[in-house]
Amino acid sequence: MQKPILLISLFFTIFFSACNTQQGKETRSADSTIAGTVVADTIIYPVNVLNPDSADEWATRRLKNVNHQKLTDLLFESVYEGKATALDYYTREPVSTEKLREMEASGKFDRNQMTQLQFEETWQIDPSEGKMIKEVQSVLLAWPVFDSKGNFQAYQAGFVIEFQK
């Protein structure tokens, strides 16, 4: 039983060490002492952080440990405190904190209804340390759109939060 595990471990070590594509450059993050090989620069993917369909038991189970309120508050506050920048999703132009506060007050960006995040990240792997590092560059906040009968239709892009480098 130990031989298959050893062979699999050896395979992944060789595989990750051999990644020598344009993205496979060695890097060292300025904020950490972890060195790694970039395997995704940039990857974009969505993650639901609130279940818009109460009948979807799997989504409820997956999200049971997400502190939605804290997550949303921290994202908004990072912009309001000037630690991150809000950008218009379509134009990538900065959105002032005053404008964002107005949109939030109007109900357009109701924190309690923010359902999905779309991450832009860089991924690094350091096989010698057995570590994977994911660096978030930005995150799009999105809200659900429902039809007149209350059925979920799609996600509407809100705004992008670009984190400081």
Q: Give SS3 for 157.
A: strand
Q: What is the pLDDT of residue 54?
A: 84
Q: What is the pLDDT of residue 28?
A: 43
pLDDT tens for the chain, 165 residues long, are: 444 433 333 333 333 333 333 444 444 444 444 578 999 988 999 999 999 888 999 999 999 999 999 999 999 999 999 999 999 999 999 999 999 999 999 998 999 999 999 999 999 999 999 999 999 999 999 999 999 998 889 999 999 999 987
Whole-number Å distance between alpha carbons of 19 and 7: 18
CA distances from 13 to 7, 130, 132, 161 (A): 10, 9, 13, 35
DSSP one-letter code for 31? T
- Counting other chains too, the contacts that 128-135 makes at CB distance below 8 Å and 24 or more residues apart are 129/34, 131/34, 131/36, 132/36, 133/29, 133/32, 133/34, 133/36, 135/29
Amino acid identity, position 115:
T
